[in-house]
Structure 1
Amino acid sequence: MNSTAASTAGTERTPHRVGLLDRFLMQGGIVITFLVIAVVATALIEPRFLNRLNLINMMRNFSFLLIPSLAQMLVMTAGGFDLSVGAVVAIASVVTATVMLVGSGYFPDAGVLLILLSLAAVVGVGVLVGSVNAWLVASFSLSPFMVTLAMMSVLVGIALYFTQGIPIYGVTDTFVSGVGRGQLLGLPVVLWVALAVLAGCIVLQRFTALGRHIYAVGSDERSARLSGVRTGRTLMAAYVLAGVLAALTGFLMTSRLGAGHATIGTTLALETIAAAVIGGVSLRGGVGRAEHVALAALFLAVVANAMNLVQVDSKYQTLVLGAVLIVALAIERLLLRRRQA
């Protein structure tokens, strides 16, 4: 009798322990563990990591990765991909510098006006690119992977043809000093912008009908349509938001670089997908939380900063990023099998 009770208790405790582990992993435990290990290891190996100037620089780089990663998360949660985020960043950078360069001839002393005009222009670019992506995917049932890959090629070609690979100068000093290098309450201005975008994404996902519809479309588009969700409009909203956020990233990166570059953002497609997957966004859609993606982006920023501090060759940095992505995909597959078991 006692042995039977002990055996029963043992079988009850094991699923409980497994359930707690699964819950921890599903609630961002993987990325939190990765982040803590990366921060502690870097601080021990390289004391310069905790230097204030280094931390400020890392926060800026984190911001430039966080915003497009949130864009990628929105599209992936809706069941798609957006390989054009890096190209949108590049074209937005070129547009920002061009508008400021041309506008300065008409409004030479209106730095704030030029900033607002260039921001309006890049938002328009983001809306246009996102709309075309969504229209092709939703109207013709084309593969999001192929559509956005083609869009990436088109945008990169336009940017390189327009600039001939030469940076476009003429960015206003107000923009560079106030946004790119500016600080507010001791933190970079671009970080505050990125945190505002993060807060907006969290509100969108948790408290709006659009957020619920994006999850529904990503989980099962047919069931969502039968439930009354306008799947075409939902996909349009997800891709347009992604395009706007990617364009905003290019706008902010221009403030940091002080010029428009057609060659920036070349690795952002891989980096944003890595941040999304490490942050728990499912490749099949319907799963993903903005705060977890933010932690994953911070983890990647810490890893990149650590490799720069110890002077690891940039080619090996790309190798490390690919290896981390493979590990994240393997973990996602193992968790899926555990839930289905």
Structure 2
Amino acid sequence: MTSKPDTAASVQASRPTGAVALLRATFIKLGVLPFFLVAALILFTIASRQFLTIDNITNVARQSVYLVLVSLGQMLVLVTGGFDLAVGTSIALTSVVSATAMVYFAAQFPDMVWLVIVLGVLAGFLPALAIGTLNGIGIAQFGVSPFIMTLGVQSVGAGVALFITGGVPVGNLPYDFGELFGFGRIFGVPVPVLVAIVAIVAMWVLMNRTRTGARIYAIGGNIKAANLSGINTKRTLFVAYIVCAFLASVAGILMTARVESGETNLGGTIALESIAACVIAGVSLRGGIGRVESVVLGAFFIVLVQNGMNLMQIGSYMQMVLLGSLLILAVVTDQFRYRMLTGSR
């Protein structure tokens, strides 16, 4: 017969177990992001009174738009079991080509500013889509490693961007371009935020309500099994890299409008940041696992951390160190999470 003290002791012992089980379930389902987010909020709130204010959080949300767009595309290829190191080059080429095209067409059609802007934006999409096509063909058709393929394309694209501009920013863009896509508002909502919302909704529908999304998850889970089940894995991989490049190109257009010039150094660190946002958000580097809503929050978290470090007056070099450390920690925890999901040791 169990005594009352023993019963009370057993109840108290079971409480930590329940808390640990809840944390374990949260980690398995959502990854390390909730824990990182809570830690960041506590740390930066203590460090700066300006951090947890409506104005600052709104500013972070607006600044995170570009990383959200790129991270959504990065998630797509990560779920297939690959990744894209050329997203920064897609942004740079989009920026310099669109800016160069606008300057050229402005001279040809001086009184048709919106035609100039439309032609410039369309011209900016072309090199990014070419990058996505090259990546898709190399990886899907010829089976080249995503690391080697995207790294090579990144190098080629960066050289082309520098060749076009000579390393000099392209200025004299139409005023209306920056006014609308950089600083404009529709119904009080910034235009870049509206673009990001449309992209988030479209990506969520793609990944959760279409056959293409289901095929992408199937390829990431087991590409051989996907082939045997009749999925055209080559076409699906090709589409994934095209969409990834297109989303990076959209971010490039918005960033160009924000700085009001074509820049070859735009998106220089965004490949690392987008991969970090995805891994922290629970997207597995092994493929097959990833949620759109978590990636959006992951990108917001990366920008939030950068904002907090700026408020703490941490230098840019040390910020690179800390962001790299976050990525390493997220990758290590992803390994533990994968083991928990598969039951392996």
TM-score, normalised with respect to structure 2: 0.90
Would the aligned equivalents of 1:96 and 1:119 in 2 still touch at CA under 8 Å?
A: yes
After superposition, residues 211-226 of structure 1 pair within 5 angstroms as: 211-226=213-228
- Residue 182 of structure 2 aligns with an amino acid whose one-letter code is G
Provide the residue aligned with 1:62 in structure 2. Answer: 64
Would the aligned equivalents of 2:279 and 2:331 in 1 still touch at CA under 8 Å?
A: yes
Provide the residue aligned with 2:278 in structure 1. Answer: 276
Structure 1 pair 307/15, CA: closer, same or farther in 2 (3 Å)? Answer: closer
SS in 1 for 2:64: helix
Provide the residue aligned with 1:259 in structure 2. Answer: 261
Residue 119 of structure 1 deviates from its aligned partner by: 2.3
Provide the residue aligned with 1:105 in structure 2. Answer: 107
1:183-221 CA-partner distances (Å, limit 9, x unpaired) = 334442211211211111111110000000000111111
- Residue 304 of structure 1 aligns with an amino acid whose one-letter code is Q
Would the aligned equivalents of 1:56 and 1:187 in 2 still touch at CA under 8 Å?
A: no
Residue 2 of structure 1 deviates from its aligned partner by: 7.1
SS in 2 for 1:48: coil
SS in 1 for 2:144: coil
Structure 1 pair 56/259, CA: closer, same or farther in 2 (3 Å)? Answer: farther
Residue 51 of structure 1 deviates from its aligned partner by: 5.4
Which of residues 320, 338, 341 in structure 1 aligns to 2:340?
338
- Residue 298 of structure 2 aligns with an amino acid whose one-letter code is A
Residue 54 of structure 1 deviates from its aligned partner by: 4.0
Which of residues 150, 157, 160 in structure 1 aligns to 2:159?
157
- Residue 154 of structure 2 aligns with an amino acid whose one-letter code is M
Residue 29 of structure 1 deviates from its aligned partner by: 5.8
After superposition, residues 298-337 of structure 1 pair within 5 angstroms as: 298-337=300-339
Provide the residue aligned with 1:114 in structure 2. Answer: 116
After superposition, residues 1-341 of structure 1 pair within 5 angstroms as: 20-28=22-30, 30-50=32-52, 54-339=56-341, 340-341=343-344
Q: Which runs of 5+ in 2 are unaligned?
A: none
Residue 23 of structure 1 deviates from its aligned partner by: 3.0
Residue 123 of structure 1 deviates from its aligned partner by: 2.5
SS in 2 for 1:49: coil
SS in 1 for 2:73: helix
Would the aligned equivalents of 2:31 and 2:334 in 1 still touch at CA under 8 Å?
A: no
Q: Which moved more, 1:124-133 or 1:23-32?
A: 23-32
Would the aligned equivalents of 2:91 and 2:128 in 1 still touch at CA under 8 Å?
A: no
Distance in 2 of aligned mates of 1:51 and 1:217: 43
Would the aligned equivalents of 2:28 and 2:340 in 1 still touch at CA under 8 Å?
A: no
1:90-139 CA-partner distances (Å, limit 9, x unpaired) = 00000111111111112223332222222222222222211111111122
Distance in 1 of aligned mates of 2:203 and 2:304: 23
Residue 295 of structure 1 deviates from its aligned partner by: 0.8
Instruction: Give the superposed CA RMSD.
Output: 2.5
Residue 19 of structure 1 deviates from its aligned partner by: 5.6
Q: May I ask how many residue pairs the two structures share in their alignment? A: 338
